[in-house]
Structures are given as structure tokens and as C-alpha cells.
Chains A and B, each alone.
Chain A
Amino acid sequence: MAYFIRRLAAAVPVLIGITFIAFALSVASPGDPAVELLSMNGFSQPTEEQIALKREEMGLNDPLLVQYGHWLSKAVQGDLGTSYMTKESVSGELLRRLPATLSLSLLAVLFAILLGVPCGMLMAIRRNRLFDHIGRALALILVSIPGFWLAIMLIALWSEKLQLLPTSGYGTWKHLLMPAAVLASGTGAILMRLTRAALLEELNKDYMLTARAKGLRESFIVLRHALRNACIPLLTVIGSYFGAIVGGSVIVEVIFAVPGIGRFAMDGIFRRDYPVIQGYVVFTGLIYVLFNLATDLCYGLAHPQIRLGGKLR
């Protein structure tokens, strides 16, 4: 527990640094939140006086550090401010949208594991045989297919032709299947290849020869010894990809109309809504940290030596 808290505390300065960079970058990018707010319908054209007044009211004329300081002092108390555009609480919006993005991302990771690990294992065991060749080709295809294209194809098949899954929306488990599959495709393929490579490396080690000589069953050797040792790189990839999936879910959320934090952040970026951008950065940063922590804890479970402070071979 102490370890857990120490790690979380260590992440705080990193998160603050990231939010500052995100803030500085948004301020540096062309566009003015006051103009965006006053012309959000796309039709009205504010006058220079109106813009100046709005900038003053929004505190945009304060020095950068003062603006950031205001935000930070509130953020450490758990208040991420209110959106310039919608006037709604940023933390409230993020929390409201989090279940959608999180359930989507977790299901995607689950899909990736279910596809990647068993296929990778079979490919390693049946190395250079038909299954291995097919698996490698499949992995290559999955990694190369653009997500939006796969999404359109899945919708055409499962919604238009077979009418088994809803095209879009959110609310039931059926709504999550296709977006999660799209998010999982690339990661699943990487896991496939990684599992295969890691397992092959283990299978070629001396201890495998000993195990075989002892007359243990091949399946037992693979599952009990080889896979366990091959677990560490797999866990690392899964852990870091989770963060990437949360951050990369924007396009999938738009295509499948999932009301997640990705869509919220995208709107925030387009409208130069600084509180939304900062809130999103700190939030996803926190998720990254938590999942890296979870990955570390999993190392311990998978490999007792790490738990005891030992080193890997």
C-alpha cells in the first residue's frame, strides 16, 4: 500500500508538468477562445469591442502563469473548472463520460488479449506450419488496416447485412462490441506477434530441454513454464497500450457515436476550450499512471521473483 501511494505521489509533479505543457501548447496554437465562444454558431461575427470585453471577462488577458496558477490552485482541490463553451463543470463531464470510454477500452484490451495470446501461443507451438503462416499474415493485415475503414466494414456486415448489432450509440453490451473490436485489432495483432516471439525464445532455452527430458507433457511445459516467463513483456505491452487505447478512442467514439471523453476532448481542442483540454490531459494522465501501477502489480503476481525484489534472468 505504501508502495502504491509512493508511486501515485511521484506521478503528481509529472501530471502537473504535462498539464502545463498542454496549457502552453493550447495558448500558443492559433485561435482565440473568446472569438470561438462568440461565434460558436458559425454565423455571427463578433466586433472587436465584444471580443476585448469577453477576453477580459474570461481572464484571458492575465499573464500565462497567472492563468495557469488559477487553474492549478483549483485543480489540486479537485475542481477542474468550467468549460468556456458549455459552462458545465469539466470534472463532472469527465466523470459522466468516463464509464463509456473505460468500458470500451477495457473490453478492447480484453479482446486484444483473447485474440493475441492464444493465437500467438498456437503460432509458436506450430511454428512454420500452416497455422503459423496464416496467423502471421492475419497479424500483418490487422496491424495495417486503418481503424475507420475496419469500423465501416464491421458496420456494413453486422448492422446493415446481418442486423445483429446496432450501428452506433451507447447503453447495452451490444453497443460496445464493434467499437471495442476496432480498438482491439491493432493491439491484438501486436500481442499475437509478441506472444509468438516471446514464447519461441523461452521454448529454445535450456530449461525447456530439462523439462522435456523429465517427460512432462508439452502443453504443461508451454503453459506452466514458457508462457509464465514470457508474460512480462506481454504485460508491459498490455499496460502501456491501455493508455494508448483510452487516448486513441476519439475516432472510434465519433464513428460509433459513443459519448466518451475522447469526443469531449476533441470538441474542447477544436474550440480552444482550455479548461476542457487541461482537464482531459490530467485525467488521461491519471489513468495512465494507475494502469502502469496495475501493470507493475501484475508483474509481481506473474513473477514471484519481482515481488521479492529479485531480478529477472
Chain B
Amino acid sequence: MKRTQTARNKKRMGVLFSLCLLLALMGCSGANGSNEPISNNGLSQQSAAPSAAADAASEEIVLAAPRDLAPGPQDAYYTSTILYVWEPLIAASEDGKPAPKLAESWEMSADGKEWTFMLRKGVTFHDGAPFNADAALANFARYKQVSPKSSPFYTLDINHSYPSLQEVVKVDESTIKLVFENPQPTLLYSMINFSSPMYSPNNFDDNGDFNGLPQGTGPFKLVQHEKDQYSLLEAYDGYYGEKAKAQKIRVRVIPDPDTRLAALKSGEILGVMDLGAIPPALAEELLKDDRFAVSTAKSTISHYLHPNGAKAPFNDLKMRQALSLIIDREQLVKELFLGYPTATANILNSTSPFYKDIPAVHDSEKAIALSHEVLGDNRQAVTLIVPTYGLDRYPYKAQAELLQAVLQQLQLDVTIQILDGAAYKEAQAQGNFDLAMAIQGLPNGDPYSILNNYMASEGSSNKSYTLGYSNARVDELLNQVKTTLNMDDRAAIYNELQDIAAEELPTIPLFNDASLIAFSKEITGYGALVYGTTLPQLERVQ
């Protein structure tokens, strides 16, 4: 009797155990059947994949990014522009100026209130629909319907990019006209990339979201997307321009920089892309292995040290100047960022066509004298807040410690506070800080919005970062620029504003970041751009 009981119990335990095992493996077999290639060198191709799939996989070029570059149908764009799936009416040239893309040429009326765009002919969307005036109008209707629509890239907001737009008119099959209430001399600058994306008119649902994969006009089609795992791109045969060289590119999501590096070294991926693709220190380590190369370009990201200008000691201009003079930006860039970025004292990012070169001055003696004038013989305790997202992408912890050491000379005793993004923003808005390490991207070529946000007395960044900056002359210049149609006159105003910013320091500019990518020498044609990479030129070395 006892024996049978035991046998039954054993059997039950066995069943339970097998059930656990089954459950444990459930996820593997049921995982969307996506058979990702494990390695490109064929050493460890999955044995389970059918041979046809394995062949297809070996043709693929696998890259990795720190985040999902295709947030999906609810996103304003579905994919980032750096996947080359959709194209804008206006793109940016290498020097940051507006360049033709789906709009081939344009004309501004004398009063600046009407803009006519001649659209490129013979262009089709990935779903076969023609790109023409009707398609463009459908896209403008969508902008209007969904604005402002958030995205991890840039917010899509027609009121911001096309202020006072009254109507969009179809002139003929391939010409449209935008009519504004007020003159818009810098319209082209604000239309660049994320402000003028074009999709097939059949691609939207009633809410203005995407009803399936994005149907753009770009050299790549998005053929498969597994959220937070990968995007699979395929060259678009019907592309009007130079076709993509690689037939298939898979962009995997690997959030951890060390894992991305390991994946490169193991041959699992052949390159990386997107912001923070590879931290400088890891790039340096990778270059010790001659199988790899890196490529850099200017970046739209600037790094700053924001002072709290609403309270002592940084409400005193002398103290802000002392701060700027004591920091050896060249040393900072060289030692912590391995020389990839460029030191600057200009508030404006160097990718703007209106950028003025203002070299950074390092003068410890003068800095110490200035702080002594303000503080006398007293020492002052200050808090430096650091956002956690900065720690993931940049050597921000080391940078904070370096500042802590340097600022001692100014009689400032720095306490470093690391805060998560939301807490950091709140501390800034409420002024619960003295110094904040910060980054800023340049949304488009026209510096107006950046200068206005930071320098106008009522500027949104000025307020929400508690910079406490106000200057009547600056407000006047910013008002003046709104009605200045001539580009040279605008440039003169922007120059004056840049000079004032360097003198009065609403924020302390530190350096312009570099866009840095790393890749295996098994691929060629791959390089960094100001925003993104030369993905369509990428191909395997024959």
C-alpha cells in the first residue's frame, strides 16, 4: 500500500517537474518565430532554423541601436528618419542648410506669406501609391489632426513648424502652395526632416495613426518590426534615387553599451547606430582590435552647465563668468570624451548655419579673483544635479567629480546629486539646485527657437530650467528677428545674440558633442552623419 502511494507521489512530482520545464521553454518556441541570426561568421548559426531562413539570414547585415528606432503605429513618425524609411519635403545639407528632398524646388512670395513647392515627379510610396500634391495635402491634413504629437525623436507640431498657416492649396498635380497669415522667411529651416515627413495617404487610420507598417518613399522599406527587439529593413526596388546597396538590414535593440560592444566583437552585429551608439571610452577599447573602425561627425547635441540664476551665488554675473573661466573645456573633452567633441563657449550648436565660432577661454587666476569679489573670504555650498540618462550615455559621473574638484578653487563646495529624469526636471523647474549638467539638441537650422527659449525673459527653457536670465536688449533683438525677412540681417541679429550669450552666460556652454559610431571592417560605406548614418551606402566587403 505504502509503495503504491510512494509511486504515485513520485509520478506527481515528475509531472510537476516536466510542467515547469515545459513552461520554461514555452517562451522560446512560441516567440514569434523570429529566427535571428546569432552570428554573421557562420560559427554559430542556429541549428533549428530551416536552411532557407538561414540563407536569408546570412545575407542580412545586422546592426544594433540602444533603443527601438521604430516606436510603432502610435508614434508621430513610426520610425526615426535614420532608418531611411520615410523622407521629408525638405532635408538638411551637410552644412545644416535646407536641401531639396521630396520638394525639388520652392519659391517665396515677396511678402513672405506664400510658399510654393514643386514636388519631385515619378516618386512612389512603398505601397505603390504615387507621391503627388494630393498625397502631400493628405499629410498636411494629418499634421493638423494630430498636432502636437509626441515622439522620442522630435515632437510633430504643425503650429510650431508652420506658425500661422492658413491653408494648403493644390496648384497642380505636383505643386502645392502654403499660405500664411504672417511672413515666414525661415520656413525652410523649420521644415527640415522631422517637420515635413511624407507617407502614403492610405497609411493613416481615423485618428491619424498608422494603419500598418509605415509606407514612405525612402530607399528602405520596413518589412518587419518586433517592438524592443529589431526592425528589419529591405531595399526598395522602386526608389527614385540611388538605391540602397544592402538588400536587408536588421537593426537590433541592445540597450546596454557593454553588450553592444561584446556583440560587435563576437561578430553578431557589424555596426552600431543612434545617439550614444558607443561611449568614447568603449570606442577607444574597440580600436585596439584592428578588425574595427569608428566614424565621427558633428552632432546636434550641445552640453551645458546650467546655473540657477534666480538665487545666489549664480545670480551674480561675475560668479557665472568665474565658472566659465575656471573650467578647462579642452581638458574636459580630451580626458573624459577622448577628444571626439569640440570645446566651445557658444550657446548655439555648431551644426547651425548661423553658428559663430567663439573660442572658450580658460583663465584660473581671473576666475578666482572674480569669485573672491563675490564671496569675499567665505565658502559657499552648492548642489550639482546630474540626470541618470546622462550617466548611461556619457561619462557624466566623472565629469561631475571633475567639476567638483575644479570648483573648489572658486570657494565652492559642491555636493553631487544624481536624479532620475523626472525628478531632475522637477528640481530644475522649482529651482532646487545650484548647477545642473544638461544637454540640448538643435531641432532645426534656424536658431530662433533655441535662442528664444534660453534667452528671452519669458523663454520656456529659461523658465523651466530656472536660469533667471533677463536682458531688455535681448528681448528687443528677438522681437526684431521675427519680422526680419533678409537672411543677412537675421544673421547679424543672431551674431549679436550669440555674443551677448557668451558674455552674460544665461547658461555655461561646455562643448559640442560628436556623433560617434563603430563598425566592423567587414562592411564598407558606413559612416556617421550629423544625425544618423550613411545606411543606404552600407554594404558587405566583397
Contact = CB atoms under 8 A, between A and B. Distances in A.
A156 interface: yes
Contacts of B480: none
A257 interface: yes
Interface string A16-30: 000000000000011
Interface in A99-122: 99-100, 102-104, 106-107, 109-110
A152 B429 CA distance: 38
Interface in A1-55: 29-32, 35-48, 50
A46 B460 CA distance: 7
A134 interface: no
B427 A172 contact: no
How many B residues are at the interface, by size bracket? Answer: 35 or more
Contacts of B426: 30-32, 35
Contacts, number: 197
B153 A41 contact: yes
Nearest to B458: A47
B332 interface: no
A259 B229 contact: yes
A106 B20 contact: yes
Interface string B422-450: 11011101000000000111010000000
B34 A171 contact: yes
Interface in A228-280: 254-257, 259, 263, 270-272
B532 interface: no
A61 interface: no
Contacts of A140: none
Given A31-B426, A103-B25, A172-B46, A42 B229 contact: no
Contacts of A255: 256, 258-259
Contacts of A44: 154-155, 443
Nearest to B32: A171
A175 B255 contact: no
Interface string A80-101: 0000011110000000100110
Contacts of A166: 36, 38-39, 44, 268
A265 to B, nearest CB: 13
B515 to A, nearest CB: 15
A163 B259 contact: no
Contacts of B43: 163
A116 to B, nearest CB: 15
A187 interface: no
A304 B5 contact: yes
Given A41-B153, A48-B463, A176-B28, A254 B422 contact: no
Given A171-B34, A176-B28, A271 B443 contact: no
B153 to A, nearest CB: 6
Nearest to B9: A301
A257 B268 CA distance: 14
A193 to B, nearest CB: 22
B266 A110 contact: no
A170 B31 contact: yes
A254 B259 CA distance: 9
Nearest to B425: A35
A301 B11 CA distance: 10
A272 B419 CA distance: 14
Interface of B: 5-6, 9, 12-13, 16, 20-21, 23-28, 30-32, 34-36, 38-39, 41, 43-44, 46, 48, 71-72, 74-75, 148, 150-155, 226-230, 252-256, 258-259, 262-263, 265-268, 388-389, 419-423, 425-427, 429, 439-441, 443, 453, 460-461, 463-465
24 contacts: A31-B425, A32-B426, A36-B421, A38-B155, A40-B151, A41-B154, A43-B440, A43-B441, A100-B27, A102-B27, A103-B25, A103-B26, A106-B24, A110-B20, A152-B262, A160-B262, A163-B44, A168-B252, A171-B34, A256-B259, A257-B255, A263-B255, A270-B420, A304-B5
